[in-house]
Amino acid sequence: MTTPDSSGTSGAAPEPGPLEQTLHAARARVLADLGASEVSDARVVSLVEEAVTQRRWWVEQWPDGAEFVAGLVAQDVQDGLLEQHGRWPLCPVCTEDEPHALAVEPELGPDPHWVCTEAGVLVAPVGALDSVPGIR
């Protein structure tokens, strides 16, 4: 049981609003995918934080776009990693071909998934790469 402090409140942190919940969920999904592919050092986490910050502004300007944030953060991190790390996440489906990255589809829409555009295969929802065998 919490007791009120001198201001009359219980001292517990307030629940985050819908925007913050959306951003936290997007961050968690992308970090889970980065961890699944063992790409999660401090520089990469900084990329995620930068993407979330940029998307916070974006959603503040267009609140109806909140359901698109997870896919957009994933794409932002993917773009940032291309310069620093290389293609990510690599496709686990096309093992015989030249290594290539998965893409987020829809590019701007709800329920984003990682897909192999070369084979036309849905691989996993954003945030669930840990369930895919052979993900790199």
- Residue found by looking up tokens 């329920």 in the block: 111
pLDDT for residue 10 is more than 80: no
CA–CA dist 9, 106 (Å, integer):
44
Q: Which of 57, 74, 69 is nearest to 110 (CA)?
A: 69
pLDDT for residue 3 is more than 90: no
Band of residue 127 on the pLDDT scale cut at 50, 70, 90: very high
CA–CA dist 4, 9 (Å, integer):
5
Of all residues in the chain, the percent with pLDDT exceeding 90 is: 71
H, E, C per residue of the chain? CCCCCCCCCCCCCCCCCHHHHHHHHHHHHHHHHHHHCCCCCHHHHHHHHHHHHHHHHHHHHCHHHHHHHHHHHHHHHHHHHHHHCCCCCECCCCCCCCCCECEEECCCCCCCEEEECCCCEEEEECCCHHHCCCCC
pLDDT tens digits, 12-33: 666 778 889 999 999 999 999 9
pLDDT tens digits, 32-58: 999 999 988 899 999 999 999 999 999
pLDDT tens digits, 66-84: 999 999 999 999 999 998 8
pLDDT, greater one: 83 or 106: 106
